[in-house]
Amino acid sequence: MESLDGGLLTLRRQRNGQLTAAVSRQGTWSWNAGTRYCADCLREQPGVFKVVWRSPWSFACLKHKTLLYESCSSCHQPVIEMRGRNADIFDASRCRAHIGPVDTTHQTLCRTPLSESPAQLPLDAEGAPLRAQSAIYQALNGSGAAEFLRILQAISTALRGAQNFDLVATLSGLELSELRGLFDEEKHVGVSAPTTAYAMAGLVGASFALDQLDEGQAGPLIRHLTFARPPASVPRGQGHGPGSPSELLHRWPQAPAQLRDKILRAHDQDFTNSQRILGCTSVSRATLLHHRPIPGEVRVRFLTVPAALWPAWCSRFDVGGPVDGSTLATALAHALRACGTAKVQRDPQAENALAGVLRPNMLGTSQQTTSLIRGLCELAHTLDEIDVPIDYLRRQSLAAHDFLPRAHWEALCESLSRDPGAARRHRNARRYLWHRLTALDVTRFPDEPQYRSSRAAAAEYTDFRTRMTIELQTALDSYARAYLQHQGLDEPVTWSPWASVALPWPGPEILDLDLSKLHALLGNGVLAHGVLARELGVSVRRVVRALDEAPPSDPRETKAVDWAPMFLSSVAH
């Protein structure tokens, strides 16, 4: 039996960790005694009972493509296996059941040769029961056997608890009339395996078939099974309200993590938008196929997601609602950090916080909402798998006061043959670069007195941003890169993740507008964002993002600056 430990059964352990011969009730379904058998196998190898037949998880013979027997075909008593010392000379392939009168002292054994049992029910080679049996034996050779059996057991328990024998018959391909009545009422659903090989073949075959189904097809069945059972009584006040993820999972006792995630995804439509994001239940099929599932693992993305979401992603997640651009960028970043962080256990505080920032005008229609949440799940999965080259938390603590001093700004402007302008222009350049480096939302000001937020200052800054050129942006970036290196940070200035799989994002790509028209309008001195937006037929947010992403060119002579020595000389002062 030890060879089956951790696979088909779990043996009880003594205090000292030594295995006992008794089967643990904590493990998957198993018997303490008893065995099934294949009469054909016994004919071929007289007296050889396979070890796997001692498990309820063995219900079919793969070689002879039949159900196994669980009792003697003559006396119909369970097969008694040889255990311990046997005084009598004993033929293992004959039935050892005592068939004499109960009160007699003399034993009368049945002794019917088990190999002579009539042919057992043939099973379809391609049918669910034989495929399930084959998968179970295959799993035993790998490391995931216990998890696999737990999945089958949890689905079997749900099917049995729901008394849905129509579904068991449909999925397993076995006869409904035969299945009915094979399932005795269980006091505690799921504690023990069904007694007969037929019931086991039906139930496990059906569970296997359901587990193998595409999630689109399995989802409605899973949902049906959940609701076929009465709501579970669960402790209140722990995020366990009726219809909550944890309450629904209580109806699937002992489901392993992989199955729990699948169940919750099947119930996506039953959750609030916050729950869908926190539980990552709307995740698309493409995302599931592309990324390794990390069941139960929670990644907190404080370092990998900036305070304001990357502009390219703001654009993809922009459903066009009446919302301010920086409010949207902050809300989306919040949602991305929260994605998948409260999978099973509800976190009402996180739900409220998320519902508070992610307003309905950012979510659009229910279809847009679903593709937005799916996009967030995809992005979260990607971020959790790649090396994000920027530590955004550290970036936020960058002090504004020690970068781009006047001397550096003048050198930078000289390299572009441009006028450095007065203090105001210098201040806006620093603010621009500070936002680029920290990836904070533009309404935040560097922590310096001269950056007091006022309407005039905001208008000035917008004007500076609108007049940005690709040459100035490139020069500022190369300065910023030297600044970071001087700080000992080998990071790019800006960065944006890519999508591992292309989904139908609810919003457009960031430069999906008439860029040459935008540049031409700017060249003609049209600087008002509202006018630009109207001319291009897009929102102001999209104009602003395009201005930052692809500013026009200013064909004046430029030359590169080697910043490293200038940092050293400024330190020397």
Instruction: Tell me which residues touch Zn ion (CB under 5 A).
Output: 38, 40-41, 61, 63-64, 72, 74-75, 95, 97, 110, 112
CB of 114 to Zn ion, least distance (A): 8
**Cα 97 to Cα 113: distance, rounded to the nearest angstrom:** 12
* Largest pairwise CA distance in the chain: 116
Which of residues 25 and 63 has its CB atom nearest to Zn ion in the complex?
A: 63
The residues near 539 (Cβ < 8 Å, ≥ 6 apart) are: 318, 320, 533
Which of residues 40 and 535 has its CB atom nearest to Zn ion in the complex?
A: 40
CB of 337 to Zn ion, least distance (A): 56
CB count in 10 Å sphere of residue 374: 23
CB of 241 to Zn ion, least distance (A): 51
Which of residues 21 and 48 has its CB atom nearest to Zn ion in the complex?
A: 48
Which of residues 200 and 210 has its CB atom nearest to Zn ion in the complex?
A: 200
Q: CA dist 245 to 238, 296, 349, 359, 437, Å?
A: 12, 14, 15, 22, 39
Which of residues 94 and 290 has its CB atom nearest to Zn ion in the complex?
A: 94
Length of the chain in terms of residues written: 573
Lookup: tokens for 532: 């630009």
Residue (of 485, 394, 399) closest to 434 by Cα position: 399
Lookup: tokens for 520: 């031409």
| Angle formed by the axes of helices 197-212 and 215-228, nearest 10° | 130
Which of residues 113 and 295 has its CB atom nearest to Zn ion in the complex?
A: 113
Residue (of 34, 38, 113) closest to 68 by Cα position: 38
Which of residues 108 and 254 has its CB atom nearest to Zn ion in the complex?
A: 108
| Angle formed by the axes of helices 563-572 and 470-486, nearest 10° | 50
CB of 134 to Zn ion, least distance (A): 13
**Residue 455 contacts residue 438 (beta carbons within 8 Å):** no
Which of residues 122 and 296 has its CB atom nearest to Zn ion in the complex?
A: 122
CB of 39 to Zn ion, least distance (A): 8
The CA-CA-CA angle for residues 77, 78, 80, to 5°, reads: 115
CB of 84 to Zn ion, least distance (A): 21
Which of residues 75 and 526 has its CB atom nearest to Zn ion in the complex?
A: 75
Which of residues 52 and 280 has its CB atom nearest to Zn ion in the complex?
A: 52
CA of residue 272 relative to chain centroid, distance: 17
CB of 346 to Zn ion, least distance (A): 49
- Give me the torsion for CA of 386, 390, 393, 397, rounded to 10°: 180
CB of 201 to Zn ion, least distance (A): 14
CB of 64 to Zn ion, least distance (A): 4
DSSP label at residue 411 = H
Which of residues 80 and 232 has its CB atom nearest to Zn ion in the complex?
A: 80
Residue (of 434, 415, 549, 405) closest to 472 by Cα position: 415
DSSP label at residue 69 = B
CB of 171 to Zn ion, least distance (A): 25
The residues near 295 (Cβ < 8 Å, ≥ 6 apart) are: 256, 257, 258, 260, 261
Q: CA dist 466 to 55, 148, 452, Å?
A: 74, 59, 20
**Cα 530 to Cα 527: distance, rounded to the nearest angstrom:** 9
CB of 89 to Zn ion, least distance (A): 18
**Residue 13 contacts residue 19 (beta carbons within 8 Å):** yes
Which amino acid appears at position 564 of this protein?
A: A
Which of residues 63 and 424 has its CB atom nearest to Zn ion in the complex?
A: 63
CB of 102 to Zn ion, least distance (A): 16
